[in-house]
């Protein structure tokens, strides 16, 4: 469609004439689109589109989609023109009545200033998130044992304070992949941020820039990467001006079954200045998250970068399972070379290492960092708590800490937890759920949440007699309560049999 035709003014009277299933126009963000060919294919059903046939659907559309999505999902020929604002009447602009539903039971959030620890943010989220949002963020695999053990293992690790040290001035800055950051914390990749806040991952990025910590953007982000980067760059300029460097943004990659889609995504990652690729390797399939299955999904939800669409089926409505079907379960170590080819020059971080054997393999293939995680207990229940994996690496392959940076997440809710992870060799810790709880309050919530954790970290360091992160070491911890849980190698200590080839008769 030519520029002149695309930009023609379209009156309300003309738009209103196109309000049937076979001839359907909508206005979204001031642009008039022909939805006639798309309406029957809409994954969320035709009914919601028909409610706005011949009208302005901007408000309803932006509740669940980013505005950029329509430009990629509809062909250029679907664009009719732009709304003639001079013809808009009060009657036409009034939203159509929606189907009646029982009133939503909401509880007012406590004031942000009343929250003084990470647990307070979680309690506020539990009472104020929608049932689906809470089920999605709080759920974990099957019996949730790994989720619980992630935190419990930190509680079982004991601090050994040192005294009579000058600890007046403390520096918690560090580097990640060569980039200076203000604290050893980053925003772990999380999905579907818009179900927690209208600005979703864009607002997470703003909060991270304010606090000088990195954000890792997920393939399942609810905004396209360029929109997240735009928000991050704007916030950086507002807070720091144009003279300082942008706090790094990383990208978490789920490899698509259609590798061409992942390759296009990696090209975008490079073009927008992302500083590293975090390749998820611990989720070839999605874990069974029963709390999330029990609550039906809003079928209009989409993840613009993966193209995944929420739905419900006989198993339930878990967003992770239903929107993760695009993930390539055939990914192997040999595919690291494929990633290097399509992300040249970018550091590669393997996200999901849970054994010393795989940590050594990662070192041998030459990645830049590994990320110890069990997906917050969301993938495989009874997998080891992450800090126990960190101890396994110290016991079985300490050489890896000189070759790669090591990151960790899972169960971290206190500054003492961060300190313990750093003492055992982690360069930085990722926080996922906690960031989403804080997103409940926008970028101001992210700012307060991080300030709480860094204040606790500083206090812990002072109590243990150190003033910078290059002074942390394992001797500041006692791990006797969990040492018996740390394996000594790949083999079982006494069960020695190995798999044999199946008989042809079986």
Class of residue 144 by CB neighbours under 10 A (exposed 0-12, middle 13-18, buried 19+) = middle
Distance CA 454, CA 387 (A): 19
250 to each of 177, 179, 194, 350, 465, how far by Cα in Å? 10, 11, 19, 12, 33
User: H helices within 90-241, ranges in order?
Assistant: 90-93, 118-128, 131-138, 145-155, 200-211, 225-240
- Residue of 364, 357, 352, 344 whose CA lies nearest to 404: 364
Exactly one of 375, 473, 484, 492 is catalytic; name it.
375
| Cα 248 from chain centroid (whole Å) | 15
Distance CA 261, CA 269 (A): 12
Report the b/e string of 38-59 with b at 16+ CB within 10 A.
bbeebebebebbbebbbbbbbe
- Respond yes or no: is residue 478 known to be catalytic: no
Contacts of 108 (CB under 8 A, 6+ apart): 128
115 to each of 110, 111, 204, 438, how far by Cα in Å? 8, 7, 18, 10
| Cα 42 from chain centroid (whole Å) | 26
Q: Regarding beta strands 405-408 and 428-431, do their DSSP bridges make them parallel or antiparallel, or are they unpaired?
A: parallel
* Residue pointed to by tokens 């206190």: 414
* Residue pointed to by tokens 């739905």: 311
Class of residue 298 by CB neighbours under 10 A (exposed 0-12, middle 13-18, buried 19+) = middle
Contacts of 326 (CB under 8 A, 6+ apart): 254, 256, 257, 258, 261, 306, 307, 308
Neighbours of 495 (CB within 10 A): 6
DSSP 8-class letter at 350: E
Yes or no: say if 362 and 404 are a contact pair by the CB < 8 Å rule. yes
Contacts of 38 (CB under 8 A, 6+ apart): 73, 74, 78
Contacts of 432 (CB under 8 A, 6+ apart): 187, 188, 189, 190, 376, 409
500's enclosing H/E stretch is none
Secondary structure class of 378 (helix, strand, coil): coil
What residues are labeled active site? 375
């Amino acid at each position: 469609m030519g520029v002149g035709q695309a930009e023609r003014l379209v009156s309300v009277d003309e738009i209103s004439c196109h309000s049937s299933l076979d001839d359907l126009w909508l206005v979204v963000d001031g642009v008039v689109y022909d939805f006639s060919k798309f309406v029957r294919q809409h994954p969320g059903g035709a009914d919601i589109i028909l409610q706005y046939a011949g009208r302005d659907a901007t408000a309803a559309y932006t509740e669940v989609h980013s505005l950029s999505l329509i430009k990629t999902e509809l062909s250029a020929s679907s664009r009719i023109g732009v709304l003639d604002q001079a013809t808009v009447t009060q009657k036409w602009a009034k939203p159509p009545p929606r189907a009646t539903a029982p009133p939503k039971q909401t509880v007012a959030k406590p004031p942000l200033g009343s929250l003084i620890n990470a647990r307070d943010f979680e309690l506020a989220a539990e009472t104020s998130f929608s049932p689906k949002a809470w089920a999605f963020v709080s759920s974990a695999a099957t019996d949730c044992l790994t989720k619980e053990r992630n935190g419990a293992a930190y509680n079982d690790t004991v601090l050994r304070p040192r005294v009579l040290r000058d600890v007046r001035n403390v520096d918690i800055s560090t580097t990640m992949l060569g980039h200076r950051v203000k604290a050893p914390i980053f925003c772990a990749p999380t999905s579907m941020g818009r179900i927690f806040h209208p600005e979703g991952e864009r607002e997470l990025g703003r909060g991270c820039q304010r606090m000088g910590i990195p954000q890792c953007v997920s393939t399942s982000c609810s905004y396209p990467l360029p929109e997240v980067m735009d928000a991050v760059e704007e916030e950086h300029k507002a807070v720091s001006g144009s003279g300082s460097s942008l706090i790094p943004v990383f990208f978490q990659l789920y490899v698509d079954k259609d590798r061409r889609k992942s390759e296009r995504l990696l090209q975008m990652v490079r073009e927008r200045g992302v500083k590293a690729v975090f390749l998820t390797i611990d989720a070839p399939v999605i874990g069974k998250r029963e709390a999330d299955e029990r609550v039906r999904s809003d079928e209009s939800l989409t993840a613009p970068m993966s193209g995944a669409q929420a739905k419900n089926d006989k198993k339930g409505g878990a967003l992770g399972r239903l929107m993760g079907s695009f993930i390539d379960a055939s990914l192997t170590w040999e595919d690291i070379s494929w990633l290097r080819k399509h992300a040249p020059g970018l550091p590669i971080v393997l996200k999901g290492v849970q054994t010393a054997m795989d940590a050594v393999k990662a070192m041998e293939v030459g990645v830049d960092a590994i990320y110890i995680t069990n997906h917050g207990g969301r993938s495989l229940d009874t997998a080891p708590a992450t800090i126990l994996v960190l101890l396994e690496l110290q016991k079985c392959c300490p050489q890896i800490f000189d070759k790669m940076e090591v990151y960790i997440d899972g169960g971290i809710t206190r500054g003492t937890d961060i300190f313990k992870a750093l003492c055992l060799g982690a360069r930085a810790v990722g926080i996922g759920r906690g960031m989403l709880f804080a997103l409940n309050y926008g970028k101001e919530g992210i700012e307060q949440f991080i300030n709480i954790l860094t204040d606790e970290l500083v206090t812990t360091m002072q109590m243990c007699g150190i003033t910078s992160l290059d002074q942390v070491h394992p001797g500041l911890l006692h791990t006797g309560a969990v040492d018996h849980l740390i394996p000594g190698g790949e083999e079982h200590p006494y069960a020695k049999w190995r798999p044999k080839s199946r008989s042809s008769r079986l």
